[in-house]
A and B are shown apart, each in its own frame.
Chain A
Amino acid sequence: MRSLLPLLLLALSAPALADITITDAWARATPPGARTAAVYFTVVNDGEAPDALVGAATEASDLAELHTHVHADGMMQMKQVPAIDVPAGGEAVLKPHGDHLMLVGLHGALAPGESLELTLSFEHHAQVTVSVPIRDARKP
Chain B
Amino acid sequence: MKPAGIAAIVFVGLLAFGLGAWWAVTSSQPDLEMAGSGYVLPEPRDLPAFELVDGQGVAFSQTDFQGHWSVLYFGFTYCPDVCPAALAVMAQVKQQLDGDEDLDDRYYLVSVDPARDTPVRLTEYVTYFDPEFLGLTGEFDQLDRLTRAAGAVYKVPDAPEDDNYLVAHSSTLTLIDPAGRVHAIFTSPFDPNVIADKLGALMRNWKAD
Query: Which residues of chain A are within 8 angstroms of B168 by Cβ–Cβ distance?
Result: 72, 75-78
Contact of B82 among A76, A104, A139 (CB under 8 A): A76
- A residues 91-140 with Cβ under 8 Å of B? 96-97, 100, 102-105, 137-140
* Structural contact, A31 and B124, CB atoms closer than 8 A: yes
- B80 interfacial contact with A, CB 8 Å: yes
**Tier of interface size on chain A:** 20 to 34
Contact of B189 among A34, A97, A103, A140 (CB under 8 A): A97
For chains A and B in complex, what number of residue pairs have CB atoms within 8 angstroms? 83
Q: Which stretch of B9-17, B36-44, B55-63, B84-92 is in the interface?
A: B84-92
- B155 interfacial contact with A, CB 8 Å: yes
Query: What distance in Å separates the Cβ of B87 from its nearest Cβ neighbour in chain A?
Result: 8
Contact of B170 among A28, A32, A74, A104 (CB under 8 A): A74
Excluding A69-B82, A97-B189, 8 further A-B contacts by CB distance (< 8 Å) are A31-B77, A31-B125, A31-B128, A31-B129, A32-B125, A75-B170, A76-B169, A138-B129
25 sample A-B contacts, Cβ–Cβ < 8 Å, listed by A number:
A28-B81, A32-B124, A34-B77, A35-B163, A36-B78, A36-B79, A69-B82, A72-B168, A74-B170, A75-B168, A75-B169, A75-B170, A76-B82, A76-B169, A76-B171, A78-B81, A78-B82, A78-B166, A96-B82, A96-B85, A102-B80, A102-B81, A104-B164, A138-B129, A140-B88
